[in-house]
Structure 1
Amino acid sequence: MPVYPREELEEMVERWLQANRDAEKEGNWPKHLGPMYTDDAEYRWNIGPNEEFVARNRKEIEEWALGVQMEGFEEWRYPYHRILIDEKIGEVIGLWTQVSPALREDGTHYQVEGIGGSWFRYGGNYQWEWQRDFFDLGNVKALFFELAADGKLDPAVKRKIGKLAKGQLLPGHERPRKPPSFGKKLKGFLAMVRIALFNR
C-alpha cells in the first residue's frame, strides 16, 4: 500500500512548481516556499568533503536556506526538467538547472553546467518534511569564477564568498569534523617525489 495517494503527491509537486515560479517572479523565496515545509522540516546540502549546510526547522529554512543563501540569487531561475515520484515511500526527486539572469556576449545565459536536483520526503498536508539538494560544486565554482571575471557576479554573492574564503561560516554551514592538516603528509609526499625523481 502506498504511504500517500499518488494523486496527492502529484498535487504536491504541482503546488511546489507553482510556488517556485511565483518565487522567481517576485524574487521572494521565503514568502512562497516557506509555507511548503512542515514546522520541523530539515533541509540540507553538501558543500565539499567537510562542509554541510543544514536547516533543522521551518524558521531556519526560511531565514537561512531561502533567505541568506538566496541573497544575490533573487533573479536566478531554477527550471525543473524531470520529476520522479515514489508514492510507496512518499518521496520525490526533481532535477533542475541553475540559470543566471546575466547574459554572455553571445546572448546566452550564464548557467551551471550539468544537472542539479532535490530529493524530498513528503510530510502530508502538502508540505515537505525533508529535503536534500545535490549539484556539481565544481561547475558552480567554475561559473562563479566566470561571472566574477566578466564583472557580473552579484555583490551579495561576492560578500558571501569572501566570508567563506576567510573561514567564516555562513548561517547553517557546519563542519562535521576538523579539517585535516596536510603539513606533515605534504612534506612526506614531496620527499618521496624528490627521491623518485633524483635517486634513480
Structure 2
Amino acid sequence: MPAYPRQELEEMVARWLAANGRAEREGNWAKHLGALYTDDAEYGWNLGPDLEFLARGRKEIEEWALGIHMQGFEQWRYPYEKILIDDQQGEVIGFWRQVAPVKRDDGRDYQVAGIGGSWFRYGGQFRWCWQRDFFDLGNVRALFMELAADGRLESPVKQRIRRLARGESLPGVYPLGASPSLGKKLKGWWAMARIVVLGR
C-alpha cells in the first residue's frame, strides 16, 4: 500500500468527522458519508460467529450499509474517542462509542458498553476504498434488550433482529467466510490485531 502525505490523511479524517456530524444532526447517513467512498470501495463488519456483512461498491455502501442497516439508527451518535493515522500504509483506525438518542429515567445515556471502531484504508482523492467496523456484539445485544424492555427500541431494528433470528436474508449479510471478497481484503487482520492487543 502506498504512503500518503500526513496532511492529506489528516484532512481526510477532518472531512469524515465533519460528515459524521452532519449525518447525526440530519439523520441521513448515506447523504453525507456516501461521497467519501471510492466507487469500488468495500465496507464490512462481523455479525457474530456465523455471519458477516459486506457491501461492495459505493452504491451498495449507500443503499445497504448507510441505508437499510442504519434504519432505526438515524439519530444515534457515534462520537470518536481516538484516531490513529498510519500515513505510510494509508490506513486509519478510529475508536468510537454508540449512543442512543434516548435517555434512561435517571438521565443517563443508553449507550453500548465498551468501545467500537472502524479500520479504514485510504484510496486517494479524499475517499476511503475499504472499511471494516468492529464492536462488542454481546454489549450491543445487551443494550438492544434493555431498550426493547423499556419500549425504546426502534421498530426497524426489531424487525432486522427478527429476520436474522429466523435465518431470513438481509442485503449484504453472508455466512461467515462466504462474502464475495472480504476474506481477501482481511489478509493481515490477525497480525494487526496481535500488534494492537498484544503488542507483538
**DSSP 3-state at the match of 2:74:** coil
Q: Does residue 169 of the first structure (1) align with residue 146 of the second (2)?
A: no
Deviation for aligned residue 1:176? 3.5
Conservation of the 8 A alpha-carbon contact between 2:76 and 2:101: yes
Q: Does residue 55 of the first structure (1) align with residue 55 of the second (2)?
A: yes
Task: Output the TM-score relative to the length of structure 2.
Answer: 0.87
Q: Distance in 2 between matches of 1:56 and 1:116?
A: 22
**1:61-87 CA-partner distances (Å, limit 9, x unpaired):** 000000000000000000000000000
User: Partner of 2:157 in structure 1?
Assistant: 157
Deviation for aligned residue 1:162? 1.2
**Structure 2 unaligned blocks of 5 or more:** 179-200
**1:95-127 CA-partner distances (Å, limit 9, x unpaired):** 000000111011011000000000000000000
**DSSP 3-state at the match of 1:75:** coil
Conservation of the 8 A alpha-carbon contact between 2:49 and 2:176: no
Task: Output the TM-score relative to the length of structure 1.
Answer: 0.87
User: Partner of 2:67 in structure 1?
Assistant: 67
Q: Distance in 2 between matches of 1:21 and 1:31?
A: 12
Q: Does residue 144 of the first structure (1) align with residue 144 of the second (2)?
A: yes
Give the alignment of 1:106-121 within 5 angstroms. Answer: 106-121=106-121
Q: Distance in 2 between matches of 1:50 and 1:73?
A: 23
- Structure 1 vs Structure 2 CA RMSD: 1.1
Identity rate, percent: 68
User: Partner of 1:23 in structure 2?
Assistant: 23
**Structure 1 unaligned blocks of 5 or more:** 179-200
Deviation for aligned residue 1:166? 1.1
Name whichever of 157-166 and 39-48 sits farther off. 157-166
Name whichever of 159-168 and 12-21 sits farther off. 159-168
Number of equivalent positions: 177
**Structure with the greater alpha carbon radius of gyration:** 1
Deviation for aligned residue 1:177? 6.3
**1:146-196 CA-partner distances (Å, limit 9, x unpaired):** 000111000111111111111112111001469xxxxxxxxxxxxxxxxxx
Which 4+ stretches in 1 moved above 3 angstroms? none
